């Protein structure tokens, strides 16, 4: 029986909803992956996992999740921690605004909620960095509240299952997907958290972006997209603009025991993180700002780093760092608020983006302690 609904309101019949829930939940019980955040009922740990999983692969998140909870097993410890330590533990995970918002939200939870995560959607949404998806995930998984979630996996599953041909990132397409998701969440006859995770699991492991494994799908017989032969072309998403090309220059000044790093302002890209001094434009500009002789530098290569909105090509040069002779360094540019030599054994204590690690690697500078423990 292929699903049918009135497109004008996307009203789903009770029989279809019940059938979908039964089949997908039965599949999830047998097929779900054994992930560390599925072994806990602690709302705090679930919140951490959902924040880390935003736009980040599960395999990448797992070691960060484990290390983060080892260091900060409670909201109170996270709230009390220095921002520098939080960013250091997040180094390499990307989207660093998540870490800053997580830290700010922990402080709010301590201040306004007695150290316990609120359980309802409205209060969750008031926390820094918590949007509709994260609020729904935490409310349903941690507290059993009836709340829908729509992330990339869920949107793809629902777009194919109900043949949603609108751009799912448009206001109209997004609203339609959310309406469908809200109707499917169990109330009184099932676990909303398990249902939401089942949808996400189906999208992550079976209903994949390319070459969906339709033959392995527990609800394939009810999929409108498959029945119409358009499943692989869904969901429809408008093309993104290509990232802007940006050229930068970076100077790595290192001795046998330390390297010069600068900290980016909190309102700048990679805010609060440390990196070798760099600048948009020419190496000569950066050398002049640092007061070093460009002729004494050695060009060691280029680094390419692609973000969603820009493609950075960084020209990297290396020079000697004489800590004894020079103890004060000028700021490399307006996007920085601090600059200082950092001992190699202390690099792991300084939050760094992946770009910074690439630059240090090209310059053949020791970066002991920077890898995330697994």
Q: What is the pLDDT along the chain (374 residues), one digit of tens a residue?
A: 555 544 445 778 888 899 999 999 999 999 999 999 999 999 999 999 999 999 999 999 999 999 999 999 999 999 999 999 999 999 999 999 999 999 999 999 999 999 999 999 999 999 999 999 999 999 999 999 999 999 999 999 999 999 999 999 999 999 999 999 999 999 877 799 999 999 999 999 999 999 899 999 999 999 999 999 999 999 999 888 889 999 999 999 999 899 999 999 999 999 999 999 999 999 999 999 999 999 999 999 999 999 988 999 999 999 999 865 666 889 999 999 999 999 999 998 999 999 999 999 999 885 443 433 33
User: Pairing relation of β-strands 310-320 and 244-254?
Assistant: parallel
pTM: 0.88
The number of folded domains in the chain is 2
Is residue 102 a part of any domain in this protein?
A: yes
Contact 136, 147 (CB under 8 A): yes
Contact 226, 220 (CB under 8 A): yes
Q: Is 50 a catalytic residue?
A: yes
pLDDT attached to residue 14: 85
Q: Which of 29, 50, 112, 166 is catalytic?
A: 50
Is residue 46 a part of any domain in this protein?
A: yes
Residue 80 and residue 159 in one domain: yes
Is residue 3 a part of any domain in this protein?
A: no
Residue 222 and residue 251 in one domain: no
Residue 262 and residue 189 in one domain: no
**Pick from 177, 215, 221, 170: which is nearest to 199 by CA?**
177
Residue length of the chain: 374
pLDDT attached to residue 182: 96
Domain that holds residue 299: 244-362
| Residue 16 Cα to chain centre, angstroms | 34
Residue 50, token pair as written in the block: 């959902």
Residue 72 and residue 173 in one domain: yes
Is residue 370 a part of any domain in this protein?
A: no
CATH of the domain at 311: 3.90.79.10
From 233, 259, 284, the end of a domain falls on: 233
Per-residue pLDDT reduced to its tens digit, 165-200: 999 999 999 999 999 999 999 987 779 999 999 999
267: exposed, middle or buried (Cβ count in 10 Å: 0-12, 13-18, 19+): exposed
Is residue 325 a part of any domain in this protein?
A: yes
Residue 217 and residue 288 in one domain: no
Residue 182 and residue 323 in one domain: no
- Name the H helices within 39-131: 43-52, 58-71, 75-80, 83-90, 97-112, 121-125
Residue 28 and residue 104 in one domain: yes
Is residue 373 a part of any domain in this protein?
A: no
- Calculate the CA dihedral of residues 29, 30, 32, 37 and round it to 10 degrees: 60
User: CA 83 to CA 88: how far, in whole Å?
Assistant: 9
CATH of the domain at 229: 1.10.340.30
Q: What are phi and psi of 365, to 5 degrees?
A: -100, 135
Residue 176 and residue 50 in one domain: yes
Residue 224 and residue 260 in one domain: no
Residue 299 and residue 222 in one domain: no
Quote helix, strand, coil % in the chain, to nearest 5: 45, 15, 40
Instruction: Annotate 349-363 with b (16+ C-beta within 10 A) or e (fewer).
Output: bbbbbebbbbbbebb
pLDDT attached to residue 258: 93
Residue 100 and residue 169 in one domain: yes
Is residue 357 a part of any domain in this protein?
A: yes
Residue 63 and residue 172 in one domain: yes
SS3 assignment, position 275: strand
Largest CA distance in the chain: 79
Q: Tell the residue number behind the tokens 């736009």, with chain if given.
A: 55
Is residue 369 a part of any domain in this protein?
A: no
pLDDT attached to residue 9: 55
From 233, 266, 283, the end of a domain falls on: 233
Which residues is 88 bridged to in the sheet?
none
From 233, 260, 275, the end of a domain falls on: 233
Give the other-Cβ count within 10 Å of 102's Cβ. 22
């Amino acid at each position: 029986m292929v699903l049918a609904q009135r497109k004008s309101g996307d009203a789903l019949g009770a029989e279809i909803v019940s059938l979908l829930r039964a089949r997908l939940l039965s599949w999830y019980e047998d097929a779900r992956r054994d992930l560390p955040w599925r072994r806990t009922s602690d709302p705090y740990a679930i919140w951490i996992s959902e924040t880390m999983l935003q736009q980040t692969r599960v395999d990448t998140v797992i070691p960060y999740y484990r290390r983060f909870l080892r260091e900060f097993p409670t909201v109170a410890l996270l709230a009390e921690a220095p921002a520098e330590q939080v960013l250091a533990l997040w180094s390499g995970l990307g989207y660093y605004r998540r870490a800053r918002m997580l830290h700010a939200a922990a402080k709010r939870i301590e201040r306004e909620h007695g150290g316990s995560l609120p359980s309802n959607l409205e209060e969750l949404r008031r926390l820094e960095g918590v949007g509709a998806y994260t609020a729904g995930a935490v409310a349903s998984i941690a507290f059993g509240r009836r709340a829908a979630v729509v992330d990339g996996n869920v949107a793809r599953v629902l777009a194919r299952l109900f043949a949603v041909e609108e751009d799912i990132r448009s206001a109209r397409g997004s609203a339609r997907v959310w309406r469908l998701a809200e109707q499917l969440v169990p109330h009184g006859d099932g676990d909303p958290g398990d249902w939401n995770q089942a949808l996400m699991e189906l999208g992550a492991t079976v209903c994949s972006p390319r070459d969906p494994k339709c033959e392995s799908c527990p609800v394939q017989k009810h999929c409108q997209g498959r029945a119409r032969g358009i499943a692989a072309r869904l969901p429809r998403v408008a093309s993104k603009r290509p990232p802007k090309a940006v050229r930068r220059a970076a100077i790595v000044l290192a001795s046998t025991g330390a390297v010069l790093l600068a900290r980016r302002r909190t309102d700048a890209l990679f805010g609060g993180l440390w990196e070798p001094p760099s600048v948009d434009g020419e190496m000569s500009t950066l050398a002049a700002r640092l007061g070093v002789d460009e002729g004494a530098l050695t060009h060691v290569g280029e680094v390419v780093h692609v973000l969603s909105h820009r493609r950075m090509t960084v020209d990297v040069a290396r020079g000697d760092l004489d800590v004894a002779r020079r103890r004060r360094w000028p700021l490399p540019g307006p996007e920085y608020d601090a600059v200082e030599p950092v001992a190699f054994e202390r690099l792991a204590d300084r939050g760094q983006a992946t770009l910074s690690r690439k630059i240090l690697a090209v310059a053949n500078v020791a970066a002991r302690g920077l890898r995330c423990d697994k």
